[in-house]
Structure 1
Amino acid sequence: MKEQELAITLSTTKKEKPQADQLQFGKNFTDHMFIMDYMQGKGWHDPRIVPYQPLTLEPSAMIFHYGQSVFEGLKAYLTEEEEVLLFRPEKNFERLNRSNERLCIPEIDVEFALKALKELIRVDRDWIPREEGTSLYIRPFIIATEPYLGVSPADRYKFIIIMSPVGSYYKEGIKPVKIAVETDFARTVRGGTGEAKTGGNYAASLKAQEISEKSGYSQVLWLDGVEKKYIEEVGSMNVFFKINGEVVTPALNGSILQGITRASIIELLQYWNVPVTERRISMQEVYDAYKAGQLEEAFGTGTAAVISPIGEFYWKEEKMVINNGETGELSQKLYDTLTGIQNGKIADPLNWITKLED
């Protein structure tokens, strides 16, 4: 798309900001939002920052009927020196375009999207919380808005960015979670939409999560949808295992999301010269490693938690307690390093940080 002028309309009434100790994920939203429209034949147009407000859509808008939507999630951090930092934001917009391609949504201009996001953050900069572990969560998303009940790609869309101040994911310190291995439901299959970040994937996961929570488990470990043997993701996160000194994560296969945190973990481990492998790994292999005393750590990775240590798996009516149910040394080091880089407290050796210039 051609470079366009970004129009800004400031809110005349400011919302009351929540106290840091009352922040809940995705409950409060900043004063402004970014919107840009798409129309077939005209392309993406009318980029603007406006006061946060409801959307007006026709009941026949295609998003309501056929689920043509994609989204992203990233964060902005405020350092002790009052600098605003973003963690690899270009990767999120690049992944958004990969999701767009899978869902037949027109791609966005990554450079312009990043420019618009930076301006939105400048406008709502005072919404970035300052307390330890807090951040400003950023949600870019695209929805089909054409009023039409035919099953085909829409010819109209909206690209929107909203932002929400969020508290520390681990208010009482990083703690391992208990995970049930899912053997009935499937999150997705190769050839489906698993590698895209689209709402339907998450809706499809809710039933298994609901059942696991009733059994006392935080989330489920997803196996492949065909053979129910090979590990894919944990909840809505990528998953890693430390087995006999080597870190293993399922290889991207068309049904696994290409996590930004996942890629960062792999790059960081390689930087530390820690053996790390992307390959197909079965639940049986993990179980055998556990029985042999070689399953040293397991953890999920994602934007919200960064690292979520796993203290127990439940599979085939057997509990597998990992590292005595405690956070592993490598998991803690990865968490401390990534969060330290994100909030500017330690060096950024791999040049992941984008600073918001005044």
Structure 2
Amino acid sequence: MSEQHDPAEREAILKDPGFCRHSTGHTAVVDWDADTGWSDPLVGPWSDLAMDPATLGLHYGQAVFEGLKAFRAEDGSVHLFRPEDHGRRLARSAARLAMAEMPAELFTRACADLVAADAAWVPRGYGQSLYLRPLLIATEPDLGLRPSRRYRCVILAYPADPCFGAAFRPLSVTTATDTVRAVRGGTGESKCAGNYAAGLLTRTEAQAAGYDEVLWLDGLERSRIEELSTMNLFLVWRDRTGTWVTTPPCDGTIVRGLTRDSLLTLAKDRGIAAAEEHTTIDAVRDGLRTGRLAEVFACGTAGVVVPVGRLAIGGEDLTVGDGEEGPMTAALRSSLLDVQHRRTHDAHGWLRTVVPAEGNGGRRA
């Protein structure tokens, strides 16, 4: 997927980047060896991964990844959003699969080095970003069932719109009934490659039936909602006493989304009641029928905040509200993007400056 572009071609791409259609042509690479530990990050031209067919990562699934973004502010400066937290989450995913855990400081340095090298690729549009995809994979060739003694982290970069589009159109979602994504004690909260492969069949079938995404239920009783295939889920409740938001708790079966965590914090900053609580699919159905469940939205690094306009439960297609985006969904997305683009104060220290404002000498902070 590596491409070479002159400045005019790059500017044309940045006006309409889509989601990860064009790579910057560079990667950052960090290696780990059991004898020598972690290497320094190396930024260079995109190159293929050369692997022995017996590589442990290919046979036993020792592969985890992350997704994070760099944003350009109105003054031209460029900032990574919560890179240390993404680094810590990658380390937790790696630990679950008995892989080497990259220190968050090293992870952040590698991401910052790549963004600095590709600063011209960071779009200027509101909601647009430079999307980074760090992949950590076992690289030692051996067919014995054991942890690898060598790993490579490769970080890719793409100018990007949100993955479901910049218009944030409402999604159509159907509930998974015959398959499950995760069970407690498994790898559900880890961003390991196998988790996503396990959901592809159900998601593909849902898309063939006219839906955008799948809502997964708990793996034991199949009664509680969990998350979509690539995004966490929020519910907006409303009655005569007021409005509040809930989201399923992170208790081992859903990804600990950093967008999810950011939205919970921003909601509380705005004085909105926000809670983590288990919710049954029956309660969701009843809430939609009565109107008490006024909005549903999904969130994640790639998709940002996207409304759900239609939800199929047990063969019944239910419209969420009037089928369009609700005010709470729009408000929380704006709150998040305003922080990411430095339109409002970064009260929680989420931004890591990589390129200072234009006119300040162009030095990395």
- TM-score, L = length of structure 1: 0.92
Question: What are structure 2's unaligned runs of at least 5 residues?
Answer: 357-362
**Residue 293 of structure 1: CA displacement?**
2.1
Question: In structure 1, what residue type is equivalent to 2:145?
Answer: V
Task: After TM superposition, give the deviation of residue 129 of structure 1 in Å.
Answer: 2.1
> How far apart in 2 are the matches of 1:157 and 1:147?
11
Distance of aligned partners of 1:185 and 1:328 in 2 relative to their CA distance in 1, 3 Å threshold: same
Q: How far apart are residue 53 of structure 1 and its match?
A: 0.9
1:344 is matched with 342
Q: Identify the residue that residue 184 of structure 1 maps to in structure 2.
A: 178
Give the partner amino acid of 1:276. Answer: A
Distance in 2 of aligned mates of 1:111 and 1:269:
29
- Code of the residue aligned with 2:5 in structure 1: it is K
Q: Report how far residue 195 of structure 1 moved.
A: 0.6
Alignment of structure 1 residues 139-288 onto 2, 5 Å: 139-169=133-163, 171=165, 173-244=167-238, 245-288=243-286
In the alignment, which residue of structure 1 is the partner of 2:74?
80
Distance across 1 between alignment mates of 2:4 and 2:279: 51
Shift of 1:48: 1.6
With over 3 angstroms needed to count, the CA separation of the structure-2 counterparts of 1:119 and 1:15, relative to structure 1, is: same
C-alpha separation in 1, matches of 2:33 and 2:96: 19
For residues 277-321 of structure 1, the C-alpha deviation after alignment (integer angstroms, 9 at most, x for no partner) is 111111011112223320111111101121011111111121211
How many angstroms apart in 2 are the aligned matches of 1:87 and 1:140? 14
* Aligned counterpart, 2:292: 294
- Secondary structure at 1:233's aligned position in 2? strand
Matching residue's letter, 1:15: H
How far apart are residue 89 of structure 1 and its match? Answer: 1.1
Alpha-carbon distance between aligned partners in 2 of 1:56 and 1:166, rounded to the nearest angstrom: 27
Letter in 1 for 2:326: G
RMSD over aligned CA atoms reads 1.8
Q: State the partner residue of 1:310.
A: 308
Tell me which moved more, 44-53 or 105-114.
Answer: 44-53
1:5 corresponds in structure 2 to none
TM-score by length of 2: 0.91
C-alpha distance in 1 between matches for 2:47 and 2:168: 35
SS state at 2:39 partner? strand
Counterpart of 2:132 in structure 1 is 138
Shift of 1:171: 5.0
Q: Give the whole-Å Cα distance in 2 for the aligned partners of 1:201 and 1:168.
A: 22
Q: Give the letter aligned to residue 104 of structure 2.
A: V
- Which 5+ residue runs of structure 1 have no aligned equivalent? 1-12
- Retained in 2: the 8 A contact 1:21–1:167? no
- Between 348-357 and 237-246, report the one with greater CA deviation: 348-357
Sequence identity (%): 36
Q: How far apart in 2 are the matches of 1:112 and 1:271? A: 31
What's the CA shift for 1:74?
A: 0.7
How far apart are the structure 1 equivalents of 2:40 and 2:267? Answer: 43
CA distance in 2, matches of 1:345, 1:46: 34
CA distance in 1 between counterparts of 2:37 and 2:105 reads 16
Residue 37 (structure 1) shift: 1.4
Q: Residue 41 of structure 2: SS of its match in structure 1?
A: strand
Offset at 1:193?
A: 0.7
Partner amino acid for 2:330? Q
Letter of the 2:234 partner, please give it. F
What is the CA deviation profile of residues 68-107 of structure 1, one whole-angstrom value per residue up to 9, with x for unaligned ones? 0111001111122110011111110010011011011111
Q: Which moved more, 1:306-315 or 1:44-53?
A: 44-53
Q: Could you say what secondary structure the match of 1:37 adopts?
A: strand
Deviation at 1:274, TM superposition (A): 1.2
Moved more, 340-349 or 219-228: 340-349
Query: 1:43 matched to which residue of 2?
Result: 37
Specify the SS of the correspondent of 1:323: coil
Tell me the residue number matched to 1:70: 64
Farther-moved stretch of structure 1 (24-33 vs 135-144): 24-33
Please report how far the alpha carbon of residue 14 of structure 1 lies from its aligned counterpart in structure 2 after TM superposition.
5.1
Q: Measure the CA separation in 2 of the matches of 1:170 and 1:72.
A: 18
In the other structure, the counterpart of 2:332 is 334
Give the drift of 1:252.
1.0
1:157–1:168 CA distance, 2 compared to 1 (3 A) = closer
Shift of 1:194: 0.6
Tell me if the contact between 2:135 and 2:155 (Cα under 8 Å) persists in the aligned partners. Answer: yes
CA-to-aligned-CA distance 1:95-127 (integer Å, 9 cap, x gap): 001101101111112112212221221112112
Q: How far off is 1:254 after superposition?
A: 0.6
Asked if the contact 2:196/2:229 (under 8 Å) is kept, the reply is no
| Pairs aligned (count) | 347
Amino acid at match of 1:255: T
Which of these residues, 13, 19, 25, is aligned with residue 19 of structure 2?
25
Distance change (3 Å), C-alpha of 1:132 and 1:247? closer
- Aligned equivalents of 2:101, 2:31: Cα separation in 1: 12
Residues 162 and 302 of structure 2 are in contact (CA less than 8 Å); yes or no, is this contact kept in structure 1? Answer: no
1:96 to 83, 90, 94: 90
Residue of 98, 111, 119 corresponding to 1:125:
119
CA contact (8 A) 1:132 1:168 kept: no
Moved runs in structure 1, 4+ residues, more than 6 A?
Answer: none
